[in-house]
Amino acid sequence: MEKSKKNPILVMVVDDSAVVRGLVSRMLDKDDNIEVVDTVSNGELAVKRVNDIDLDVIILDIEMPVMDGLTALPKILEINPNIKVIMASTLTMKNAEISLKALQAGAADYIAKPTTSREMTGGQDFEHDLCERVKALGIGRPERSADSPAKAKAKVASKIVKKPSGPITLRPEPIAHSKPKILAVGSSTGGPQALFELFKGLSGKINVPIVVTQHMPPTFTTILAQHITRTTGIPAEEAQEGSALEPGKILIAPGDFHMILKERGDKVIATLNQDPPVNYCRPAVDPMFESVVKIYGKKTLGVILTGMGYDGRNGSKTLVEAGGVIFAQDEESSVVWGMPGAVAEAGICSAVLPITQLAPRVLDYFSKGVG
């Protein structure tokens, strides 16, 4: 007899492939904190089932017959806004574009599916990544209700169960700090929307290079750069080997490559490598931050946005030890308060703010800098 799980995260898998549904369900069910309660083959069936069963997280395929994932997403969230939806797609330019549109429409996260069942069954990285994403999003699941999901629709403001946060002690800013020469940003789950919000507030107002590590697979980072340019007006591009940093321009670490800054003559350039993942991530924030500090030292301002895990904490420690400053997104406005929570609870942040207040705070810090 199968052992019952205590208060598991309840998941539905939506995919037109029976093989994928079975494989993903078995991967998730191995975890003691996750229980797959239903699987369906298209978006229309998913929308119907959301009315009938308790769910915390949905793994939603993009390309399906009858009703695709992008069409189903708003219908699902209209019925139950508390459900966290992870979009699943293969690594194509088209699907990367659709995934970013889905994030703007309310999806909580995305995951790149292996292209074959052989890759999926042999892919320990995919299984680990999938389970960690589900658990990270499930932390903030609504309390269970005796009401049916349809009746619970009116209870959108239901109490949310969250991990208790540790005490936060802000690190004082230097009294007379140097004007930053670079802005370094790290983000993960929920990051694209947070990046759009941050950079819209900075557009045309700071003139230093900006470097970003957002946990994303290949192809997705190319599309992210295009969306940032269109949405914020700040020119952004996916870094190439040897890309030079330029004032007022954003360089984004490409999927599956760490981005390391190096000095070459009178320029600072981006170099790329496929060294082992750091904190289970490639690209990772820590190596990028550490390389930034080697060049810019105390003239570095770092920002850690929403994301699961703790990537960026060690690099942020290095940054503040060199005299730089770290700001972080607050828990309430984060999709997952993993990365920003890690730096906040480490006592190395000089500000922990809602995403809407971070750009004004960054601008204020720049305006008060000397030199």
**Catalytic status, residue 188:** yes
**Catalytic status, residue 117:** no
Which of 31, 286, 311, 330 is labelled catalytic? 311
Which of 99, 188, 316, 333 is labelled catalytic? 188
Q: Distance (Å, rounded) from C-alpha 13 to C-alpha 57?
A: 9
Residue 338 tokens, joined: 């993993």
Q: Distance (Å, rounded) from C-alpha 274 to C-alpha 256?
A: 7
Burial of 22 (0-12, 13-18, 19+ CB in 10 A): middle
**Catalytic status, residue 215:** yes
Residue 251: name the closest of 205, 262, 61 by CA.
262
| Total Cβ atoms within 10 A of residue 71 | 13
- Parallel/antiparallel/unpaired status of strands 57-61 and 9-14: parallel
Which of 31, 41, 177, 215 is labelled catalytic? 215
Q: Give the active site residues.
A: 188, 215, 311
